[in-house]
Amino acid sequence: MIKQIKAFLAKGFSFWNNGEEPVAMEPTIYSADTHPIRNRQISKNSMTVIQRLNRAGFNAYLVGGGVRDLLLGLAPKDFDIVTDAHPNEIRKLFRNSRIIGRRFRLVHVLFGREVVEVATFRSNEVDDRSKHYQTNQEGFVTRDNIYGDIDEDAMRRDFTINALFYDVRDQTIIDYCGGLADMKKRQLRLIGNPTERFLEDPVRILRAIRFEAKLGFQIDSALLAPIAEHRQLLENVSPARMYDEVLKLFLTGHGEASYGRLMAHQLFEILFPLTYKALAQQDFPAQHLLRQSLHNSDLRAKEGLSSSPYFVYGSLLWEPFITRFNTLTAQGVKYRQASEQAIDEVFKIQHQITVIPRYVREFIEELWILQFRLEAKVIHHPEKLMTNPRFKAAYDFLLLRAEAGESESVIARANYWKGQFSVYEATLLADEQQRNREERREVKQALKNVVNGQDDSTNANDGSQKKRPSRRRSKKSKTDHHPGENKVNLKPIESKSTTGNDRAEGEVKKKRKRRPRKRSKSKNNSQESDS
């Protein structure tokens, strides 16, 4: 697959139009032998959705980041599908689907944990009177549900490299905007007028930064001035949406590069004003702390591991928090009150830009408060503190602060906790090994007991089966006769009157009951013979 991609790039994409401006109504169609994408690279569930839509008489294509990443030899995070079927028509074809969104109506087709997103072609025609297309006072599009054709949909997309359509029926790529040419140049070019497109959706500014950091592409020179001019529009974006966009910037494997590009385009001060102000007043260590945290998150992403949002946000907001905390304590405010007040002030301002969920804030507060406990000079029971579920994250954060050279005391406490934690880990390992040995010993003993218990029960059953017939025979010999014989009452018929002999005989019977069984049998036989 890599060889195909290299050959594809080496050919120079001879089918490109030499950098001319794209003409939306005249697409360039690239056959399967001119690009490396094949149907087998597409997820099974995405293929199921596309093929069912095609069989129902609709046109459906892969579009956007999935096509772009496959052309670049990257593993797509997901596959987006676009079709001429309307949401209600899509919903009828898939019982395992639901219609979502108000601004953009989409259909999510659910396959367990995998979600396949299906959108309808959107029109480039704007009718201000239509209830399906609405904007606010700043020009931000609040509703865009006017449906159109594939060529109109291509012109509604943000960047040319995201306006490539892949048809699974013949494995062709449909390019309306010259996206493949821009991909060869490793260039990010916006579709349409930048000012109008940024007014429609300011998040496109952050998307340009993210693609620049993720793909290593260069933003088109014609786009740099509009980004600087309209960067304040990001303040009008929903804080909840901004929270998600920040996570995409910093937690998808290119956080350190995103931070650098945000600083270069003067966008970081829009997203994190308190942090930017604190970093401007400090020297290298604070910046190194943030960069090192993002660098570690990038390494985890490359290893297929996830990073916690609270750890990244805790790193981003640590400097304004600790600066405010030190200011309050210098004014004589008590430790607990100063920490609570500093936390509230930092989150109150940041909340206006990016909403931080409550559970994330609680984790950040624990992370910060544990820093003070780890910095304490006297700790009576360090092993008890290490059992805290947030200790490992707080310990890693302390090491980052030490690597940044925050202070000599932080470095000293980090070295102390390194020794304590190594001993603690060794103790945990020894305890775990001991538990494993005990568990293996218990399992062996349990198996041994089961085997012995089965043998004993088998022997007991065999013995009972041997004894039962003998007991039946003894009872039968006392009371029953051979089959075919009539039962005979051997007791003599006597008168109803009670005599001395009767009383004597009754006393003999009472005594006979107290005697052993064998003797009573012989006595009974002798008595019967006497009678």
Cα separation, 157 vs 150, in Å, equals: 11
- Which residues are known to be catalytic? 78, 80, 158
Q: What is the pLDDT of residues 333-390, one digit of tens each?
A: 999 999 999 999 999 999 999 999 999 999 999 999 999 999 988 888 888 888 888 8
Sorting pLDDT into bands at 50, 70 and 90, what band is 512?
low
* Domain range 1-185, its CATH number among 3.10.450.50, 3.30.460.10, 3.10.50.40, 1.20.1740.10: 3.30.460.10
pLDDT confidence of residue 285: 59
Q: Which two tokens stand for residue 182?
A: 């821009």
Question: Which amino acid appears at position 106 of this protein?
Answer: L
Please check whether residue 173 is in contact with residue 35, taking contact to mean a CB–CB distance below 8 angstroms: yes
pLDDT bin (cut points 50, 70, 90) of residue 529 is: very low
Question: How far is 384 from 400, CA to CA, in rounded Å?
Answer: 23
- Both structure tokens of 107: 């259909």
d(CA 401, CA 380): 23
Per-residue pLDDT at 103 exceeds 50? yes
pLDDT tens sequence across 162-213: 999 999 999 999 999 999 999 999 999 999 999 999 999 999 999 999 999 9
Residue 448's pLDDT band (boundaries 50, 70, 90)?
confident
Q: For 497, which DSSP code?
A: S
pLDDT at 158: 93
Return the sign of the alpha-carbon dihedral for residues 423, 425, 430, 431: positive
Region 260-278: mean pLDDT is 95
- The answer, yes or no, to whether residue 505 has pLDDT greater than 80, is no
Give percent of the chain with pLDDT exceeding 70. 75
Highest mean pLDDT among 100-109, 110-119, 468-477: 110-119
Task: Give me 486's structure tokens.
Answer: 């009539």
The residues, ordered by sequence, that sit 6+ positions from 286 with a Cβ below 8 Å of its Cβ are: 278, 279, 319, 404, 406
How big is the CA angle at 372 (ends 370 and 378), to the nearest 5 degrees?
Answer: 110
Q: Which residues contact 23 (CB under 8 A, 6 or more apart)?
A: none
How confident is the model at residue 18, as a pLDDT? 36
Judge whether residue 243 has pLDDT over 80: yes
12 Cβ partners below 8 Å, 6+ apart? 184
Q: Can you tell me the distance from the alpha carbon of 165 to that of 172, in angstroms, rounded to the nearest whole number?
A: 8
Which 3 state secondary structure label does DSSP give 157?
coil
Q: Compute φ and ψ for 143, nearest 5 degrees.
A: -155, 130
Amino acid at 213: A
Split at pLDDT 50, 70, 90, the class of 289 is confident
pTM surpassing 0.75?
no
* 94 Rama class: left (phi>0) / alpha (psi -120 to 50) / beta: beta
Distant-in-sequence, close-in-space partners of 261: CB < 8 Å, separation ≥ 6 = 209, 212, 213
User: Above 70 in pLDDT, residue 310?
Assistant: yes
In the chain, list all ranges with CATH 3.30.460.10.
Answer: 1-185
For the stretch 114-130, pLDDT in tens is 999 999 999 876 554 45
In the block, tokens 């906790």 appear at 417
Measured CA distances, 422 to 280, 414, 415, 429, 435 (Å): 37, 12, 11, 11, 20
Name the most confidently modeled range: 4-18, 118-132, 296-310. Answer: 296-310
Region label for 54, one of left (φ > 0), alpha (ψ between -120 and 50) or beta (otherwise):
alpha
Q: 513: pLDDT confidence band, cut at 50, 70 and 90? A: low
Q: Is 50 exceeded by the pLDDT of residue 3?
A: no
